[in-house]
Amino acid sequence: MSRPFPELNDLRQGGKLALARMLTRLETEAGSGETARFLDKASQVPGGHVLGLTGPPGVGKSTLTDALIKAFRGQGESVSVLAIDPSSRFTGGALLGDRTRLHTDPEDQQVFVRSMAARDRLGGLSDHAIAAIALLRAVSDRVIVESVGIGQSESDLVQAADTMVLCIQPGSGDSLQFMKAGVMELPDLVVVTKADMGPAARRAASDVTGALSLTRPDKDGWKVPVFEVSARSGSGLGELIDGVAAHRTHLAGSGRLEAKRAGQHRQWYQDMIHTRFGTAGLEAAASRGAEADPSVAPFSAFRAVSDELSERLGLSGA
């Protein structure tokens, strides 16, 4: 007989060890009906605000994450960080090991950091990462998801974060490259890091502002702001935090957050099917219909489809 899953409130009070054990259990028992029901319950909790940070390697995301952790803890909020790294094709593990780049107080039970490999999703978010985000946002005031921007991660983060932050480095030409890749259409805020570089940072901010005017017209009443931030000196950090708060307030109006998360849940369901069964799986799922509403119960909806398709194809269980 399987162990019952703990109550979410017990996990909120249980500290780092309880969260670490729960995330490990979600991986080892992935695909079970009990796990799916637990994750569906967690995904429906309004919970905390999910902040996605992306940008190329070396742009300073980990330094910025450190500064944000300190700022949010200074406001009395609990913070969870999920650091997503590209996978090694040889071991399947995380290539960069983000936990070693974050400097947090090991005694602070209100700060939790987990490093996770992208696995089968290249630079994006694996199914295990999505499960982790569903849990962490249910039990934390703030969730920071940090990912290396190497293509898929940016679009994946949009499907997991409430507020998407794109980090750009002065003098790198990132804004032009991101325009070509369509990345500029995705962020809710843009941060030019290493603002202590002075003129180079100001030029980068001007370039990205121009790029946004060409690729990202105001959408749903929100104009993407550009911030110059030096995480080391703290310059511009307060303005960035105010910008994040403003976007959170924007989402709270007129049910935008609820609609956004419902859309994310449907995307999670489709991505899980596509990862396991490909395009044919999506077509089969669409013709079959979902027993559970994916916008409300994405994990149970996937399990039902997965069980049927696995049996039809003679595969082992999901």
User: What is the pLDDT averaged over residues 231-236?
Assistant: 90
pLDDT digits (tens, 9 = 90+) for 192-213: 999 988 899 999 899 888 888 8
Provide the pLDDT for residue 288: 74
Mean pLDDT of 132-145: 97
pLDDT in tens, 94-117: 444 444 457 778 889 999 999 887
How does DSSP assign 212-254, residue by residue?
Answer: HHHH---BTTBPPPEEE--TTT-TTHHHHHHHHHHHHHHHHGG
Cα three-residue angle 67-73-76, rounded to 5 degrees: 155
User: Cβ of 233: how many Cβ atoms within 10 Å?
Assistant: 12
Give the pLDDT of residue 179.
63
Q: With beta carbons less than 8 A apart as the criterion, state whether 171 and 204 touch.
A: yes
Domain boundaries, given as residue ranges, for the chain? 47-255, 259-313
Q: How much is the average pLDDT of 273-302?
A: 87
> Residue 306: is it exposed, middle or buried by C-beta count within 10 angstroms (0-12/13-18/19+)?
buried
As assigned by CATH, the class of the 47-255 domain is alpha beta
- Determine the average pLDDT of the residues in 179-200: 84
Residue 139 has pLDDT above 70, yes or no: yes
Note the pLDDT of residue 74. Answer: 95
The Cβ of residue 110 has, within 10 Å, a number of other Cβ atoms equal to 18
